[in-house]
Amino acid sequence: MRLISILVVFLELSLTTANASPLEAWYSEAHVKKAISVPQISKTEIILSPETGLRMHKNTPYTGDVVSYYPTGELYKLERFKQGLRQDFLKQWFKSGVLSFHANYHAGVQQGKTTSWWGNGMTRSETTFIAGQVNGLSLQWYATGQRFKKMNYRNGKEVGLQQAWRKTVSFIVIMNTLMVVFMA
């Protein structure tokens, strides 16, 4: 009986988000529902203070969500701020409604995994940030899903093995030395 009620709840959530706009779908996700109590305003109501670098609303550092739309009305960007600094997430969509970019922030600093997508929904890149700097493996793909680049970073600087793939050639850089490998 418990399994049936879980399936019914899942089906209800699936049906409600299937026809929802990207913004509605984002807010309907369970982990975001808890945070819905934050205010939401248009990007046009926010100014960037040149003195402090904070996002301000009515002369106060803004806490809440800021939403932007394409001129034709489709959702473009959703970002969260706390005391004028980016906090939690920044998401952007293509006009088609396909997610194009997702980054995480803590106290205005990019932190954790950042992912971008092509207009066809295929992953374009995945990069990890620690304290605002690229760290670890950074991956990029062509719009077809084929590998494009594999880069290694430490504290925002390239280190170790760097690789790039083309249709007929692979490029590998090790310790600033380029090696070309021809593919059959």
The answer to whether the predicted template modeling score (pTM) of the entire model surpasses 0.75 is: no
Other CB atoms within 10 A of residue 69 CB: 15
Does residue 37 fall inside a structural domain? yes
Does residue 97 fall inside a structural domain? yes
Structure tokens at 164: 């790039």
More confident residue, 178 or 149: 149
Residue 4's SS3 state is helix
Does residue 97 register a pLDDT over 70?
yes
The span from the CA of 79 to the CA of 63, in Å, is 11
Question: How many structural domains does the chain have?
Answer: 1
Number of alpha helices (DSSP H) and beta strands (DSSP E) in the chain: 3, 18
pLDDT band at 39 (very low <50, low <70, confident <90, very high): confident
Handedness of CA 78, 99, 137, 162 (dihedral sign): negative
Does residue 63 fall inside a structural domain? yes
HSE, CB side, 13 Å, CA atoms: give it for residue 66.
24
Does residue 70 fall inside a structural domain? yes
Handedness of CA 30, 34, 36, 39 (dihedral sign): negative
Structure tokens at 94: 């293509």
Does residue 90 fall inside a structural domain? yes
Extended strands (E) in 26-176: 40-42, 47-48, 55-57, 60-61, 64-69, 75-82, 85-93, 99-106, 109-110, 112-117, 123-130, 133-134, 136-141, 147-154, 157-158, 162-165, 169-174
The residue among 133, 141, 183, 140 whose CA lies nearest residue 159 is 133
What pLDDT, on a 0 to 100 scale, did the predictor assign at position 7? 30
Identify the weakest region by mean pLDDT among 2-6, 29-33, 156-160: 2-6
Does residue 62 fall inside a structural domain? yes
Does residue 24 fall inside a structural domain? yes
What pLDDT, on a 0 to 100 scale, did the predictor assign at position 177? 59
Q: Which range marks the domain in which residue 25 is found? A: 18-110
Instruction: Specify the amino acid at residue 57.
Output: H
Does residue 132 fall inside a structural domain? no
Identify the weakest region by mean pLDDT among 10-14, 45-49, 102-106, 172-176: 10-14
The span from the CA of 135 to the CA of 122, in Å, is 23
Does residue 4 register a pLDDT over 50?
no
pLDDT band at 43 (very low <50, low <70, confident <90, very high): very high
